[in-house]
Structure 1
Amino acid sequence: MSDMDDRLLGLVDGVVDADELRLPLLTLREARAAVALLQLLAARDDEGAYAARHLAGSLARRLPASTE
């Protein structure tokens, strides 16, 4: 894992662990697009890929099941 992965994971995990107030910043469509983009970044083999996989999984688990 790279230093960037460690830094990004620290930011993401810190929010989950802190039980911080969540704000509705995205529409469902935007959230799904963000997960898809993170999954594309996660498929790469460069800095941040591990953190992108981690964040994509965390967000995807909170999205409602698709009815499409």
Structure 2
Amino acid sequence: MSELDDRLLDLVEGITDEDQQRLPLLTLREAQAAVELLQLLADTSDEGACAARHLAGRLARRLPAET
């Protein structure tokens, strides 16, 4: 892994629900689009793919189930 990969992964892994106030920054559709874009990045071998995979998973778990 590169230095950038390590830094990005540290940022994502350092996120905890207890230590940060949640802010309503995105609409549901924007959050869904962000998850899809992160998943596309995660499917590459480019720098940041591992961090994108982790962040996409974290965000996807917080989205409401589709009906």
**What's the TM-score, normalizing by structure 1?**
0.87
Partner residue, 1:39: 39
Mapping of 1:27-66 within 5 angstroms? 27-66=27-66
1:25-60 per-residue CA deviation (whole Å, 9 max, x = no partner) reads 000000000000000000011111111101100110
Give structure 2 stretches of 5+ with no counterpart: none
- 2:21 and 2:65 mapped to 1: Cα distance? 23
RMSD, matched Cα = 1.4
Give the gaps of 5 or more residues in structure 1. none
**Percent of aligned pairs with the same residue?**
75
Superposition misfits of 4+ residues, deviation over 2 angstroms: none
Q: Structure 2 length as normaliser, TM-score?
A: 0.88
